[in-house]
Amino acid sequence: MTAQETIQKTVDENDVVLFMKGTKLMPQCGFSSRVAGVLNFMGVDYLDVNVLADEAIRQGIKDFSDWPTIPQLYVKGEFVGGCDIITEMTLSGELDQVFADKGVAFDREKAEQIRAANA
């Protein structure tokens, strides 16, 4: 299976996927840590894909999304964004709406706590 096929299969078979440097329990860069931290705090069930473990996936995800940076968040097969976009969406409440619209469980109270702490 090619990297592109592996990525497509991963995105298709999992409701929420974060392609990141490191893992959700041990991020290996600040940007990945920020997005994983948001998802973890909000109680989102997601698959973490450590791009540092496979150079083909690391480059392949950039080609797949036509997005140059990592991390990359996918929800129900749709590319949502990288760290800056996810941060903005979290603070504006847009990420809550994406999860709600797509039927992804998350803790609304925790999402509100993030916004309150950053107001």
Classify domain 3-117 at the CATH class level: alpha beta
Helix (H) or strand (E) holding 80: strand 78-81
Average pLDDT over residues 64-87: 97
Comparing CA positions, the residue from 53, 89, 70 lying closest to residue 18 is 70
**pLDDT 10s digits, 4-53:** 999 999 999 999 999 999 999 999 999 999 999 999 999 999 999 999 99
Q: DSSP secondary-structure letter at 22? A: B
Residue with the two structure tokens 């150079």: 55
Q: Which residues contact 40 (CB under 8 A, 6 or more apart)?
A: 24
Flag whether 83 is marked binding.
no
Q: With contact defined as beta carbons under 8 Å apart, do 46 and 17 qualify?
A: yes
pLDDT, residue 105, reads 98
Domain spans of the chain, in order of start? 3-117
